[in-house]
Amino acid sequence: EAEVAQSPRYKITEKSQAVAFWCDPISGHATLYWYRQILGQGPELLVQFQDESVVDDSQLPKDRFSAERLKGVDSTLKIQPAELGDSAMYLCASSGRAVGANVLTFGAGSRLTVL
Amino acid sequence: AQSVTQLDSQVPVFEEAPVELRCNYSSSVSVYLFWYVQYPNQGLQLLLKYLSGSTLVKGINGFEAEFNKSQTSFHLRKPSVHISDTAEYFCAVSNFGNEKLTFGTGTRLTIIP
């Protein structure tokens, strides 16, 4: 069964350091999402890509977060500098091109701890 | 704008007992509805979805949910739970034409042996 790949699974860093997360969606999926899930809460959308273009980044803290999907396939989410409040699970998801509702498939996530 | 409310943050249930996890949504347009399950330190796995048609939706692991438009609800049920059902359950909504999901805050289901 096709999966969304994410790395690293776990990352511990000190505040003010830079961190990066990588996501490889299911082959052929045009839409890619990055969600942030703070412990005890539901996931919140950070950024949505359609192919290589950003569709929605209204909730992305652009002073420190950046995301790119240069060739419309895999994607990188970067935080620089990291702050204590960035400790969370970062989830990547992808969906296909079918008309109508596409189901999002999630990766296993990258858990970030900022010390 | 759309929103999802999960009324119970934690639900303890004895093994083999029935369970209902409640979900209410708010949206100004027609919606698609989903339940996802999350096991510790893992991503989200789709349990079931309502897109159209029959309001009773069956999913994996013996779960089902009923879409009630007048009550704006999409409660999740299972007639007999197992220890392996211990997890966090998230209700989510999306709108026609945009698949991005808005999630509720989750319900932690704990099965008591």
Nearest chain A residue (CA) to B101: A45
> Could you give the CA distance from residue B89 to residue B107 in angstroms, rounded to a whole number?
5
Task: Using pLDDT thresholds of 50, 70 and 90, give the confidence band for residue B2.
Answer: confident
Considering only CB atoms, which chain A residues are within 8 Å of B43? 4, 6, 91, 106-109
Which residues, 6+ apart, have CB-to-CB distance to B52 below 8 Å? none
**B45 at interface of A, judged by CB pairs closer than 8 A:** yes
> Could you give the CA distance from residue B37 to residue A24 in angstroms, rounded to a whole number?
22
pLDDT tens column, A92-104: 999 876 655 678 8
pLDDT tens column, A49-88: 999 999 999 999 999 999 999 888 999 999 999 999 999 9
For residue B68, give the amino acid letter.
N
Is residue B30 pLDDT above 90, yes or no? Answer: no
Which residues, 6+ apart, have CB-to-CB distance to A9 below 8 Å? A108, A109, A110, A111
Which residues, 6+ apart, have CB-to-CB distance to B28 below 8 Å? B1, B2
Closest CA to A29 of A107, A89, A108: A107
